[in-house]
Amino acid sequence: MYRPNSTSASQIFFTDACNHYETVANSVNIVSELFPFIGASEQEQAAHLADEARRQEAIAALQKAHHAEQLGLETLEKIANELQPE
């Protein structure tokens, strides 16, 4: 997890954004591990797609990634607002 050296408001926003996008990356990585299509045979790919538990876990990870990305985008907007001259 990213940790800032200072505690300014904009630095806190940067930390929040980094943490949100770390969640996105971790969640997408889970999906790629559940569905390793590169190097997998067509039979393995079909078996993975037929596995209901695997699909549900991937869906949950994608939903988590989606939510974290929304939070990340909101945080980036806060950063942009902080950078605007008064």
pTM: 0.82
Does the pLDDT of residue 78 top 50, yes or no? Answer: yes
DSSP string, 40-75: --HHHHHHHHH-HHHHHHHHHHHHHHHHHHHHHHHH
Considering only the C-alpha atoms of the chain, give the largest distance between any 2 of them, rounded to a whole number of Å: 60
Mean pLDDT calculated for residue range 62-70: 98
pLDDT tens by residue, 11-60 = 889 999 999 999 999 999 999 999 998 888 999 999 999 999 999 999 99
> What residue ranges do the domains of the chain occupy?
9-81
The amino acid that residue 11 corresponds to is Q
